[in-house]
Amino acid sequence: PMASDLRNVIGAIKLAGGIERIGDLAKNIARRSLAVVDEDNRTFLRGIERMGQAVSRMLQVALDAYARRDPVTALGVLDQDDDIDSHYNGLLRSMLVYMAEAPEQLDARANFLFIVKNLERIGDHCTNIAKVVHFIATGRQVVEADSQSEPAPD
């Protein structure tokens, strides 16, 4: 066995765990989305839909990078996470104001917050998948600050 073989095995195990967590978060989103279907605020629903589509694309790119063992595409996923985080922060601020306007509906509107937070967490898991893909392909770990890579410790 070579080092790349071990990276493939360990990477696949890490990816399976991340994908399982994404599935759990998606299940939670689906359950909570049933509660917000009747909500009257289309603006937030559209914002959540756009964020969900962006996260879905992010996951697809990360998994495609894994299938092709493409470290460059994997690094591109890290850049997408910043967009997801800014979208999350904007929706969060808007939702908190929205919730403050009608405290009697706090329970119903809290579902919006959980859905958005779960989408943001899925984006974080996609980033972790991309880092693992980069490590599998190159043997180098991604350095957070500048999306550069450094040699893996021996």
Strands 140-143 and 148-151 come out as antiparallel
The more confident residue out of 95 and 70 is 70
- pLDDT band, residue 145 (cuts 50/70/90): low
pLDDT at 3: 83
pLDDT, the chain, mean: 87
- Least confident stretch, 73-87, 89-103, 128-142: 89-103
pLDDT of residue 101 exceeding 90: no
pLDDT at 102: 77
pLDDT at 16: 96
pLDDT at 97: 85
pLDDT at 2: 83
H/E/C letters for each residue in the chain?
CCHHHHHHHHHHHHHHHHHHHHHHHHHHHHHHHHHHCCCCCHHHHHHHHHHHHHHHHHHHHHHHHHHHCCHHHHHHHHHHHHHHHHHHHHHHHHHHHHHHHCHHHHHHHHHHHHHHHHHHHHHHHHHHHHHHHHHHHHCEEEECCCCEEEECCC
How far, in Å, CA of 59 to CA of 32, rounded? 21
Structure confidence by residue, pLDDT tens digits, 10-34: 999 999 999 999 999 999 999 998 8
pLDDT at 1: 67
pLDDT at 85: 93
The more confident residue out of 49 and 148 is 49
The pTM for the full model equals 0.86
pLDDT at 147: 47
